[in-house]
Structure 1
Amino acid sequence: MTRGATGTAGPGTVSVPRLPGAADGGRLSTVNAGPRPAVAGFGTATPPNSYTQREMLDLFRIEDPRIRSVFLNSAIERRYLTLPPELADGTRKTETQGELLAKHKEQGVRTAAEALETALKRAGLALADIGYLCCVTTTGLLTPGFSALLIRELGLPVAAGRLDVVGMGCNAGLNALNAVASWSAANPGQAAVMVCAEVCSAAYVFDGTMRTAVVNSLFGDGAAAVVLVTDPGGKAPEEDEDSAPRATLLKFASRIIPEAVAAMRYDWDDTHGKFSFFLDRDVPYVVGAHAEEVVGRLLAGTGLRRADIGHWLVHSGGKKVIDSVKVNLGLSPHAVRHTTGVLRDYGNLSSGSFLFSYERLMEEGRVRRGDYGVLMTMGPGSTIETALVQW
């Protein structure tokens, strides 16, 4: 539990003190609420090259009408990818697992570094200010991981605390943010950074089947970073009236669905000699059916209702996933406009998708101090992760 909190923080919560009136329907308040981690900066980055869905079909000479339909009806217009080298006959090289891993390392470090530096710049901080670094990825396995590689690449403090979260999937950004928020709350005044680096084009198998076509039509490459700082004075950070409000992290809630543990997985494919994604066709409905429950637990004890949430930042997991969550939570298309916009312009960016939506929300300039927001990610497990924030 964070210093200054006056109540008990249960599992999966960060600094949600019991305020007068909260137990009997009152609202959470930032006034005298105790120290909470706040988003001081954020940043995103992508590879230099992007492709429309139609361009991808043409580049890989895909003529099967069923597969073309999957690509063209995905609600995705463009994705940033690092494609295999082109061969003399115009086709694309079939990359080995080793070559894919090298791509994961090279592109992951490059985009992660760019996103991290942007986030620090927005926070008004320097590389030397980082006290804790958490790196998240699912698209490759490296030892040492991205945290060590970024410290070497950027010259980050060698005494910084580190954590690498590997293999948790698209939900991992909020799993990691929970850990980073806890470190931030325990170390007021120090900068804690989370970086999600996903090179999904380093995890593709091209074999012309519907199984791989669904995956190949969906994911894109990109990195996102967020900087958290907890005010050492035990209060919400003071902000200039003309500056954009900062989101404070109030609470986390999770829901794992063990019976759907095999519905989303990234495992070894003996046929191709490399790792391969698998997505069950019923994933959207499984996730949607449990969304209301986990959001209910997230808001429990806060005095807030779903109608009080002004901003919803849901993982851009795919058109059917977004639609299912939207229907089950009773959200309007406007409420998930950034989620659908990120899917349209980038595809599914795995663990960092919700931060791309966060960036769009903040650049939109409509957030007001006092607004509440819910962050939601979904992934293997099957798992739903949520966080409650207030600006």
Structure 2
Amino acid sequence: MAENGRYSWENRLFKTLNIAKANYMKLLYHHFISYLPHLFLATLLMLLLPRLSALTLADVDELWSQTQLKTSTVIITSTLLALLATLYVANRPRPVYLVDMAGYKPSSNHQASRHTVLKQFESTGTLGEESMEFQRKILERSGIGDATYFPACLLSRPIKPCLATAREESETVVFGLVDEILRKTGVQAKDIGVLVVNCSLFNPTPSFTAMIVHRYKLRGNVITYNLGGMGCSAGVIAIDLAKNLLQVHPNSYALVISTENITLNGYFGNSRSMLVSNSLFRMGGAAILLSNRRADRRRAKYRLIHTVRIHRGADDRNYTCVTQEEDDDGKVGIALSKDLMAVAGEALKANITTLGPLVLPMSEQLLFLATIVLRKIFKLNVKAYIPDFKLAFEHFCIHAGGRGVLDELEKNLKLSPWHMEPSRMTLYRFGNTSSSSLWYELAYCEAKGRIKKGDRVWQIAFGSGFKCNSAVWEALRTVDEVKENPWIDEIDKFPVHVPKVVPIAP
């Protein structure tokens, strides 16, 4: 026994030393590639320095006379260079700054435990025993806690969702967000030049943008866009749209509102593929104020670096993995396909293939390129290399779509529990608030005091269609004073590491 124990101990030690050695070699490789340009320049300078030091004034005069430059040539060359510089300055992309953001936190009247949620769906009398048991299991494994929020009509008895209560939910969230973002930034409503609102499942007439224009008396030439039916990744799409609009409208503010409406989208049937959405989606929203005014750089929190959008809707499996449809009894719900995780993985791979060259250090790009060459050209059975995105980003905000999605991305991107904490905590505390979940996660990082000047943030979102969208931000300052944050006063109340199964108390 002792002999076996000794060998086991030695094997573990040997394995640990091998891992440490591999990590050390990889770190040495990264440093070598990072400093390779500097080494090349230093070597070149050392070779040229002896010759440069031997030059005399006569040598310089002779070199100048050999070029035979004329005054007219100098003037023409200088004029062309000045013209090119002017054209570059006039046409370079305008910087887009995130001045501030707001995450909606409903009142305690909207708070409901998982047990309450089960009782509410049971009270409808339309769910059978098997469906209720399935709903319980999904809730226990969802990663959602007992302090999430529902619209008032879904917590009343009897449950009577209608257009009026759906409008009430939307107005409560959206107007609350606009009030808060205007108060936090000090921007006047009349100064907003671009307004973009995204809400997938509820598209009233007049639209969300019209509701905001009417209530806040926005100016008549405000540019408005209302995005519907674009899924949980629509928040990044809205940011991308606002970014493009700010490129052609100088000295402007853009207000982006990301929300979802669940009043009319609770499912009261017995299709298991549709019951999953009842366990995940919750009430919430976020407002983001963007600016292209250079004067706002001093007070802005972040600068938008990249947006990458991937749409795989041309493929049947991708297109049908998340659909709004009727079940056999005519009840409308959101059906989630069993292929969802595989589809999401493929979409993520396509997204990071596009984003990687924009953000990864050269050392990681070379490793990634090498595996592609070995696999595609030489047809070798080499495992696909997953770049280490921790070298490119300090913070990860992954859409809190569900525990399974977060588990899969943590494994595929090789992230630590610390990197996943904002996403898991957002899912636990607020549930899946659709396109706004990314902003609850960023607010969590701020409330924890994690955002330092120069930090880079990667937001990743998935949506029906099927889409995978990314946004990359750079922190312009250290966020050390957080006010009106949805996490304030409760940042340490909930467990960071949520168990995979949390039984529902009776």
1:261 aligns with 2:319: yes
State yes or no: 1:80 paired with 2:149.
yes
Alignment of 1:91-170 (within 5 A): 92-93=158-159, 95=161, 99=162, 101-170=163-232
Q: Confirm or deny: 8 A CA contact 2:97 2:292 kept in the other structure.
A: yes
Indicate yes or no: 2:123 matched with 1:68.
Answer: no
Structure-2 residue corresponding to 1:44: 103
Distance 2:97 2:158 in 1: 45
Residues 222-301 of structure 1: pairs in structure 2 closer than 5 A:
222-232=284-294, 237-239=297-299, 246-258=301-313, 259=315, 260-268=318-326, 271-272=329-330, 275-301=332-358
TM-score of the superposed pair, with normalisation by structure 1: 0.82
My pick for the range that moved more, 205-214 or 350-359, is 205-214
Q: What's the CA shift for 1:217?
A: 0.6
Query: Residues 141, 34 of structure 1: CA spacing in aligned structure 2 closer, same or farther, 3 A cutoff?
Result: closer
State the alpha-carbon separation in 2 of the partners of residues 85 and 389 from structure 1.
37
Compared CA separation, residues 25 and 308, structure 1 to 2 (3 A)? farther
Q: Secondary structure at the match of 2:419?
A: coil
Give, in whole Å, the separation in 1 of the partners of 2:454 and 2:319.
38
Kindly indicate whether the alpha-carbon contact (under 8 Å) linking 2:154 and 2:263 is maintained by their aligned counterparts in 1: no
Q: 1:44 to 1:149 in 2, by over 3 A?
A: same
**Is the contact between residue 45 and residue 222 of structure 1 (CA under 8 Å) also seen in structure 2?**
yes
Deviation at 1:59, TM superposition (A): 3.0
Q: Which moved more, 1:219-228 or 1:297-306?
A: 297-306
1:103-140 Cα offsets, whole Å, 9 max, x none, are 33221122111112222333231222211111100121
* Residue in 2 that maps onto 1:11: none
Question: Structure 2 residue aligned with 1:330, among 414, 424, 427?
Answer: 414
CA contact (8 A) 1:40 1:227 kept: yes
**Partner Cα distance (1:141, 1:326) in 2:** 34
* Matched letter for residue 256 of structure 1: H
3-state SS in 2 of match to 1:336:
helix
Aligned to 1:4: none
Q: Give the counterpart letter for 1:257 in structure 2.
A: R
- The one-letter amino acid paired with 1:44 is G
**What is the Cα deviation at residue 311 of structure 1?**
0.8
* Cα separation, partners in 2 of 1:34 and 1:338, compared to 1, 3 Å: same
SS in 2 for 1:205: coil
Shift in Å, 1:50? 1.4
Q: Name the CA distance, whole Å, in 1 between partners of 2:429 and 2:439.
A: 14
When residues 25 and 104 of structure 1 are mapped into structure 2, their CA distance, relative to the original with a 3 A threshold, is farther
Q: How much does 1:284 deviate?
A: 2.3
CA 1:73–1:125 in structure 2 vs 1: closer, same or farther (change >3 Å)? Answer: same
Q: Does 1:216 align with 2:285?
A: no
| Cα distance per residue 1:257-276 (max 9 Å; x no partner) | 33311001223557335x42
Q: CA deviation at 1:360?
A: 1.7
The residue type equivalent to 1:388 in the other structure is V
Once the two structures are superposed, what CA deviation does each residue of 1:11-45 show, in whole Å capped at 9, x if it has no partner? xxxxxxxxxxx9x999xxxxx99631011011121
- Aligned alpha-carbon RMSD (Å): 2.6
3-state SS of the aligned residue for 2:305? Answer: strand
Displacement after TM superposition at 1:86 (Å): 7.3
Where do 1:365-384 residues align within 5 Å?
A: 365-384=449-468
The normalised TM-score by structure 2 is: 0.64
Offset at residue 94 of structure 1 (A)? 5.1
Percent of aligned pairs with the same amino acid: 21
* Residues 191-200 or 204-213, more deviating: 204-213
Which piece of structure 1 moves more, 158-167 or 118-127?
118-127
How many residues align? The count is: 349
Compute the displacement of 1:46 (Å). Answer: 4.2
| Structure-2 change in CA distance of 1:226 and 1:385 (3 Å) | same
Q: In the alignment, what sits opposite 1:59?
A: 120
Structure 1: which 5+ residue stretches go unaligned?
Answer: 1-21, 27-31, 240-244
CA offset digits 1:60-104 (Å, max 9, x no partner): 3375433211112211013211154678xxx53354xxx1x3333
Give the Cα–Cα distance (whole angstroms) in 1 for the partners of residues 441 and 139 of structure 2.
Answer: 22
The whole-number CA distance in structure 1 between the counterparts of 2:261 and 2:287 is 15
Cα distance change of structure 1 residues 56 and 354 upon mapping to structure 2, 3 Å threshold: same
- SS of 2:417's equivalent in the other structure is coil
Unaligned runs of 5+ in 2: 1-33, 39-88, 365-388, 476-506
